[in-house]
Structure 1
């Protein structure tokens, strides 16, 4: 219920005649559903979406949101996406759904980036709960794992659920989940990880989020507050 409320609150911020980045994950799925409902009711007009994953694309088609590509547009008005961790400086760790590379492209391009989370995703220090997802081209897997170890991280290849073998991203790459006991400087770690040869992108998002919408339960009621 909480995820639904946050998704709906984010969908309500979308204006007619806009290009919308559509994120990945369970909370964002509700936002996509409500944007579709607003379009069907005529409350919202002339919207095109940029999906960040195959999941977002399938949902958008299901709910009747017309889609376009980054080749066809020159800006994104608003992007809505979830996060696995959010710290007090609005830094994020994303990539629980292995879509962080496309999400980063879309979310950074957006004039306004709205993050939808439940209160359980809030942390005082980034990396305290969640590992940093690192997308890596398959041939570079072992050297990248060794480089992450040298940085003090504990790297683990992400394995598929109900699938034999590793998770494969929409780009055909692999994901290493790198656990760091301490991330004193998220912006620096983001750069350092991306500079390892063979790494495509990692899940640290800094200086990117504009609005964080948080769903939580107070007195038995689902409420949405802004950070």
Structure 2
């Protein structure tokens, strides 16, 4: 394990970055820690602290702040900087993704969902404040499009801008290889169309989304045509790749009505009692079914995953 440290004379805090490469999956995990600049760096070895965002802590609600720590109490200072609510953790990773990966002149893909919401918000703030310029963005849903317009973010389409510099989005499940389940928010088709064209896909999640195998925490969505959807759903249950997974299927509804996607299709949610063993085979067999428009397996697409948790933020990069 290697470590490096930096501190600024204009700040009372510095950062410690611990990096390690592990296993055959060639993932590099970075733990981001904060510490008092006047402490010995060796005091932090083996400890994980919370991420100190590059933006002002005043952007979080004051209800999460701890009582003022003692001047020489590094542990208390770390707790002081922590964010504890689910929404604040989502906000932290959404803001960090934009701060770290979006620069002036980029074409950006804007994801959909409760975590991606904060990435759109942060980008809108930075455009409004003039911190980034000459940005255009492609939204992955009508909901994201409306939010982006409310911030004055210039929008384009894949027809005019077929190559993206970066896309930022959430995920429903993330495995150790950064394979994903996405689409429980209903935007899987547009998300995949946009994000497959991005040079870099940054995923932002909380630690509850990290899984040992895909398909076990909830629905794996499949977008299907309304025409003969029952026939398509029966075919989904017969897929060879799902044998042994104890799969079941349900047509998605909302407010006692069939859920309609932005593309005027239906969604069949698949549920598994055991993880999908062969993801690539499953992806091929899903898309081969006539009537399937797209599925929620996003394989070999993510490059970086920013993960929030009660102890702070960590970054996982695929190598």
The number of aligned residues is 221
SS at match of 1:115: strand
Aligned-partner Cα distance in 2 for 1:148–1:71? 32
Q: Can you give the 5+ residue segments of structure 1 that lack an aligned partner in the other structure?
A: none
Q: Which residue of 2 aligns with 1:84?
A: 172
Q: 1:25 aligned to 86, 107, 113, which one?
A: 113
The 5 Å alignment of 1:186-197 reads 186-197=279-290
Q: Which residue of 2 aligns with 1:206?
A: 299
Deviates more, 1:191-200 or 1:143-152: 143-152
TM-score (norm 2): 0.68
Q: Which residue of 1 aligns with 2:253?
A: 159
Q: Which residue of 1 aligns with 2:32?
A: none
Q: Which residue of 2 aligns with 1:105?
A: 193
Q: Which residue of 1 aligns with 2:52?
A: none
Q: 1:170 aligned to 256, 262, 267, which one?
A: 262
Deviates more, 1:187-196 or 1:85-94: 187-196
Contact 1:10 1:80 in 2 (8 A): yes
Greater Cα radius of gyration, structure 1 or 2: 2
Aligned-partner Cα distance in 2 for 1:182–1:150? 16
Contact 1:9 1:224 in 2 (8 A): no
Once the two structures are TM-superposed, the CA of residue 74 in structure 1 deviates from its matched residue by 3.1
Q: Which residue of 1 aligns with 2:229?
A: 141
Q: Which residue of 1 aligns with 2:93?
A: 6
In the TM superposition, what whole-angstrom CA distance separates every residue of 1:138-166 from its partner, at most 9, and x where no partner exists?
11311111112212431110110xx3311
Once the two structures are TM-superposed, the CA of residue 214 in structure 1 deviates from its matched residue by 0.4
Aligned-partner Cα distance in 1 for 2:179–2:266? 24
The 5 Å alignment of 1:26-105 reads 26-105=114-193
SS at match of 2:199: strand
Aligned-partner Cα distance in 1 for 2:284–2:228? 18
Q: Can you give the 5+ residue segments of structure 2 that lack an aligned partner in the other structure?
A: 1-87
SS at match of 2:117: helix
Aligned-partner Cα distance in 2 for 1:31–1:199? 30
Q: Which residue of 2 aligns with 1:216?
A: 309
TM-score (norm 1): 0.95
Residue 184 (str. 1) matches residue 277 (str. 2) = yes
Contact 2:184 2:220 in 1 (8 A): no
In the TM superposition, what whole-angstrom CA distance separates every residue of 1:155-202 from its partner, at most 9, and x where no partner exists?
110110xx3311100000000001133311112111111111100000
Q: Which residue of 1 aligns with 2:103?
A: 15
Contact 1:193 1:199 in 2 (8 A): yes
Higher helix share: 1
Aligned-partner Cα distance in 2 for 1:82–1:182? 20
Contact 2:110 2:137 in 1 (8 A): yes
Which one has more relative contact order, counting CA pairs under 8 Å at least 6 apart?
1
In the TM superposition, what whole-angstrom CA distance separates every residue of 1:5-42 from its partner, at most 9, and x where no partner exists?
00001111201100000000011000000001111111
Once the two structures are TM-superposed, the CA of residue 89 in structure 1 deviates from its matched residue by 0.8
Residue 115 (str. 1) matches residue 203 (str. 2) = yes
Contact 2:304 2:315 in 1 (8 A): yes
